Amino acid sequence: MTDKNLQKKQAAEAALQYIKPNMIVGLGTGSTVSYFLEALAKADINIVGVTTSQVTSQHCAELNIPIVDIDEVDHIDVTIDGADEVDTYLNGIKGGGAALLMEKIVAKNSNENIWIVDESKVHATLGSFPLPIEVIPYGNGQLFRQFTDRGFFPKLRRQANGDPLVTDAGHYIIDCHLNNINNPYALAEYLEGQVGVVEHGLFLNICDRVIIGGETVTIKERQKTNTEQV
Ligand SMILES: O=C[C@H](O)[C@H](O)[C@H](O)COP(=O)(O)O
């Protein structure tokens, strides 16, 4: 196992301490979450999962982890998810696995969000990982042109056969190569104002706790803003 995968596994296993019997648990998507699902199945804790992608639902079926549709629960206790990048404020970029839309819906409906990552994901500012933007197929070329004009260096995500990748919800993804996002809040506001943009991969003020695998596992908590504390 590579160092990176070992760290993912360490973070995933450390997340088990936050899972208690009878919880409704949001289950993210990606290779780090796969390690978490395996640890969860092994620990045999009686939970029910709410999944964020077809891939995760499939993996739960293989591991006999019971899942329920998001609209059949009145709350989600905690969601465990990976991230592509996380900064010092615990804001992050997600969507490298094309699951950002459902991941954000599950995260926004969770009482607590915990991210599990390896050390390579932690950066002072966001932007070294291309920002995924999920868009409606109709008119995606117009958005692409707009992003190009703004210097976002967009790239339409494609499958191995060259066709555009289609998300679980039937949309396309445009990855924007921004390098350094000085003001993620302003960027999020701009993107949320564009017709045709369904969701973007900036997850701001969402993650409550990040678990970073490494020689020693590090756990960081987000300081809540005054408005959030009220
Ligand atoms: O769409 C995918 C998700 O946002 C993943 O959580 C993210 O890409 C991290 O994936 P991995 O754990 O494979 O690095």
Per-residue pLDDT tens over the stretch 128-162: 999 999 999 999 999 999 999 999 999 999 999 99
Residue 230 Cα to ligand 1 middle (Å): 31
Contact assessment for residue 132 and residue 98, using Cβ atoms and an 8 Å cutoff? yes
Instruction: Assess whether pLDDT exceeds 70 at residue 63.
Output: yes
Q: Is the CB of 116 under 6 A from ligand 1?
A: no
Residue 95 Cα to ligand 1 middle (Å): 6
Given this model, what pLDDT does residue 230 score?
Answer: 42
Contact assessment for residue 90 and residue 220, using Cβ atoms and an 8 Å cutoff? yes
Per-residue pLDDT tens over the stretch 16-41: 999 999 999 999 999 999 999 999 99
Give whole-number Cα distances, 38 to 6, 11, 27, 98, 144, in Å: 14, 13, 12, 21, 39
| Choice among 13, 38, 62, 103 that is catalytic | 103
The two tokens of residue 9 are 């596994």
Given this model, what pLDDT does residue 226 score?
Answer: 60
Given this model, what pLDDT does residue 192 score?
Answer: 98
Q: Is the CB of 29 under 6 A from ligand 1?
A: yes
Mean pLDDT of the chain: 96
Residue type, 206: I
Cα 216 to Cα 218: distance, rounded to the nearest angstrom = 6
Q: State whether residue 164 is helix, strand or coil.
A: strand
Given this model, what pLDDT does residue 75 score?
Answer: 97
Rounded average pLDDT over 112-130: 98
CATH of domain 3-122+204-214: 3.40.50.1360
The two tokens of residue 80 are 């465990």
Q: Does domain 131-195 have CATH number 3.40.50.300?
A: no
Rounded average pLDDT over 110-119: 98
Asked about 192 being catalytic, the answer comes back as no
Q: Which of 56, 84, 167 to mutate to test the pocket of ligand 1 (most atoms within 8 A of CB)?
A: 84
Q: Which of 32, 105, 210 to mutate to test the pocket of ligand 1 (most atoms within 8 A of CB)?
A: 32
Q: Where are the domains of the chain?
A: 3-122+204-214, 131-195
Q: Where residue 227 falls among pLDDT bands split at 50, 70, 90?
A: low
Per-residue pLDDT tens over the stretch 79-104: 999 999 999 999 999 999 999 999 99
